[in-house]
Amino acid sequence: MNRLQNRLDYKSSGVDIDAGNRLVDKIKEFAAKTKRLGVMEQIGGFGALFDLAKLSYKDPILVSGTDGVGTKLKIAIETDQLDTVGIDLVAMCINDILVQGAEPLFFLDYFACNRLKIDRAATIIKGIADGCLMSNCALIGGETAEMPGMYEGDDFDLAGFGVGIVERHNMLPRKESIALGDVVIGLSSSGIHSNGYSLVRKIMKLHSIDWNDRFDEKSTFKDVLMKPTKIYVESLIPVIRKGLIKALCHITGGGLIENIPRILPKKFAVELDGSKWNQPDIFAWLKTAGDVSNEEMLKTFNCGLGMVLIVGAEHSKLVQKMIEENGENSFIVGEVIHRKEKAVIVKNFNLRISQNLTSVNSKKVLPKKRVAVLISGTGTNLKAIIDYVENNSARTTIDLALVISNKSTASGNKFALDAGIPLKVLLKKKTQSREEYDSILNETLGEFNIEIICLAGYMVMLSEEFVTKWLGRMINIHPSILPSFKGIDAYGQALDYGVQYTGCTVHFVVPEMDAGPIIRQGIVEIMPNETHDSLVERGKAVEHKIYAEALELVTSGKVRMSNDTKSIERL
Which residues pair with residue 569 across a beta bridge? 560
Model pLDDT, residue 359: 55
Q: Give the chain's length.
A: 571
Residue 173, preceding peptide bond in cis (omega within 30° of 0):
yes
For residue 178, what are the CA distances in angstroms to 8, 36, 334? 65, 35, 14
Please name the amino acid found at residue 545.
K
Which residues pair with residue 165 across a beta bridge? 62, 103
* CA dihedral of residues 216, 218, 222, 228 (deg, nearest 10): -120
* Those residues with Cβ within 8 angstroms of residue 151's Cβ, 6 or more apart along the chain or in another chain: 112, 113, 114, 157
Q: Digits of tens for pLDDT over the chain (571 positions)?
A: 555 566 656 565 666 677 767 888 888 899 899 999 999 976 767 888 999 999 999 999 999 999 999 999 999 999 999 999 999 999 999 999 999 999 999 999 999 998 888 899 999 999 999 999 999 999 999 888 888 888 888 899 999 999 999 999 999 999 999 999 999 999 999 999 999 999 999 998 877 788 998 888 889 999 999 999 999 999 999 999 999 999 999 999 999 999 999 999 999 999 999 999 999 999 999 998 888 888 999 999 999 999 999 999 999 999 999 999 999 999 999 999 999 989 999 998 876 666 666 555 444 445 789 999 999 999 999 999 999 998 887 678 999 999 999 999 999 999 999 988 999 999 888 778 888 899 999 999 999 999 999 999 898 888 999 999 999 999 999 999 999 999 889 999 999 999 999 999 999 999 998 899 999 999 999 999 989 999 999 999 999 999 999 999 999 999 999 998 888 898 7
Which residues pair with residue 138 across a beta bridge? 106
CB atoms within 10 A of CB 483: 12
CATH of 8-170, one of 3.30.1330.10, 3.20.20.80, 1.10.8.80, 3.10.105.10: 3.30.1330.10
As a CATH number, domain 172-363 is 3.90.650.10
With H, G, I as helix, E, B as strand and everything else as coil, classify residue 298: helix
Q: How far apart are CA 427 and CA 138, in angstroms?
A: 65
H or E element that contains 467? helix 464-469
For residue 208, report the phi and psi dihedrals to the nearest 5 degrees. Answer: 55, 45
- Catalytically annotated residues: 478
H or E element that contains 397? none
Q: Where are the domains of the chain?
A: 8-170, 172-363, 369-570
pTM over 0.75: no
The distance between the two most distant Cα atoms of the chain, rounded to a whole number of Å, is 110
CATH class of the domain whose range is 369-570: alpha beta
For residue 559, report the phi and psi dihedrals to the nearest 5 degrees. Answer: -135, 140
